[in-house]
């Protein structure tokens, strides 16, 4: 069974991952959240220090999206999204912080924007393959200043089927 996503405003119908990604916001203007978040196995946490960023990201993403996206496709999305380092830096004894500003625009939003762009690309391609429709473009309007606009624009840059304004 595939995952369903509910709106944080709780008045919109539940959505599939594809619907949530394509629409962005729920019809009631809420954010989509997964109905269930599976607990990761203890072994994952026991070997965490031996895993690469991409391996950690794949394991977590696969637990959320594994029934909706093929493993090889999800692996490719993870590799393209996390093409830069995200170091864990010790703040004080036994307390660490992830430095999320090592991406192409030096903003923490690089992670989410790059992942979202590649998920959207996957669903655009999937839809075109299933419907045998003519290729169409998705237009993304970046309408903010500061690091959000540049991170979103860069995250979608060069992604087939998506044009950024």
Structure tokens at 109: 């939003």
Structure tokens at 56: 């950690």
Closest of 34, 90, 87, 41 to residue 65, by C-alpha: 34
Of 4, 10, 39, 109, catalytic: 109
Residues with Cβ within 8 Å of 146's Cβ and at least 6 positions away in sequence, in order, are: none
Residue 109 annotated to the active site: yes
Which residues lie across from 163 on neighbouring strands? 139
Annotated catalytic residues are: 109
């Amino acid at each position: 069974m595939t995952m369903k996503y509910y709106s944080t405003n709780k008045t919109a119908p539940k959505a599939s991952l594809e619907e949530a990604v394509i629409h962005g916001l729920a019809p009631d203007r809420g954010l989509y959240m997964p109905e269930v978040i599976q607990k990761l196995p203890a072994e994952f946490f026991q070997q965490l220090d031996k895993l690469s960023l991409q391996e950690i990201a794949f394991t977590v993403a696969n637990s959320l999206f594994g029934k909706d996206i093929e493993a090889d496709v999800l692996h490719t999305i993870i590799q393209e999204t996390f093409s830069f380092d995200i170091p864990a830096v010790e703040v004080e004894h036994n307390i660490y912080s992830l430095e999320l500003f090592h991406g192409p625009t030096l903003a923490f939003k690089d992670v989410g924007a790059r992942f979202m762009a590649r998920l959207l690309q996957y669903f655009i391609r999937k839809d075109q393959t299933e419907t045998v429709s003519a290729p169409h473009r998705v237009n993304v309007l970046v309408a903010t200043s500061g690091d959000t606009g540049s991170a979103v624009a860069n995250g979608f840059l060069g992604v087939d089927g998506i044009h950024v304004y």
